Amino acid sequence: MKITLVLSDSSAECRKALETLAKYGELFSAEVEVLVVLEDLYRLESASVSLGVPLPPDTVKSAKERTENKIQAIWRHIKNDERARVSIKAVAGELGEEVVRFAQEEKPDMFLWGCPPTSVLCGIIDRINIPMLIIK
């Protein structure tokens, strides 16, 4: 079984969501992973192209690395193991499109949502036919 935790910009440091992922991973003896969709970065990137003011070359890469490092640090703390690692995929894009693409490509058995519940989230859930749990 493979369980994916979905985080967005506003939830990228959500300890509670990562704790729930760890608990479900242990409960189901599942492979766990984290998908972080950086919508703010995507919007910034799109705006810079529209305005003709390109972002510095490593902006996107640096933001993804910082996000991954923060999540790994929280994960190690939760697992109480400095060597503990969780697979993380950070992408810049629209939440709906990136999650649907990820579901089609990676085929997780379950999604945990660490994102705030919104109408956008409800629309995404309607497009994907796998078990899901929203963590509040």
Q: Are 6 and 112 in contact (CB under 8 A)?
A: yes
Q: Look up residue 121 and give its two tokens.
A: 């989230």
C-alpha to C-alpha distances, 128 to 3, 13, 85, 98, 107, nearest whole angstrom: 14, 25, 27, 12, 10
First to last CA, the chain: 23
- The pLDDT tens digits for 21-46 are 999 999 999 999 999 999 887 777 76
Decide which of 3.30.2130.10, 3.90.180.10, 3.40.50.300, 3.40.50.620 is the CATH code for 2-134: 3.40.50.620
- The pLDDT tens digits for 65-120 are 999 999 999 999 999 999 999 999 999 899 999 999 999 999 999 999 987 777 88
Q: What is the pLDDT of residue 108?
A: 97
| Domain edges within the chain | 2-134
